[in-house]
């Protein structure tokens, strides 16, 4: 191999490693709402669950029900995922709750809360997202 070919090979290898490092440092894709609550529900609010996922609050204006889904960014092995929804203020317990070891999401959970403020949350492996006293009538 000539000195020029060696230099080209070293540059090529360096560029390949740099490209791999950039690809590895790319952020994970955020979770997206996929209609888990059913027809008629539209996303009215959402919040990040750290870098692990997103919690979605949806509402169906036809029946006055809210729905919450806590969804992972990257489904995989089972982890603890939780979703909670209450008429605000939630107090010590959620009016409706789902939690367990899931691969993708917790919920959907439903609560009739037309014209009322709601507290809602999603939690993945201890990291929580959500909001309190929102989406009032």
pLDDT tens-digit readout, 8-37: 444 444 444 444 444 444 456 789 999 999
pLDDT digits (tens, 9 = 90+) for 56-88: 999 999 999 999 999 999 999 999 999 999 999
| Whole-angstrom distance, CA of residue 20 vs CA of residue 46 | 32
Which domains are present in the chain? 42-134 (2.60.40)
Residue 122's H or E segment, with its range, is strand 118-124
Q: Are 128 and 49 in contact (CB under 8 A)?
A: yes
126: which residues sit within 8 A by CB, 6+ positions away? 80
């Amino acid at each position: 191999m000539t000195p020029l070919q060696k230099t080209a090979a070293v540059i090529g290898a360096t560029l390949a490693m740099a490209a791999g490092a950039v690809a590895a440092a790319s952020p994970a894709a955020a979770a997206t709402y996929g209609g888990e609550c059913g027809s008629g529900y539209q996303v009215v609010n959402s919040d990040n669950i750290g870098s692990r996922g997103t919690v979605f609050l949806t509402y169906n204006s036809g029946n006055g029900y809210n729905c919450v889904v806590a969804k992972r960014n990257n489904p995989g092995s089972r982890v603890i995922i939780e979703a909670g929804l209450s008429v605000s203020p939630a107090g010590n317990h959620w009016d409706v709750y789902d939690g367990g070891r899931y691969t993708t999401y917790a919920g959907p959970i439903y609560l009739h809360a037309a014209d009322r403020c709601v507290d809602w949350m999603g939690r993945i492996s201890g990291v929580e997202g959500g909001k309190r006293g929102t989406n009032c009538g």
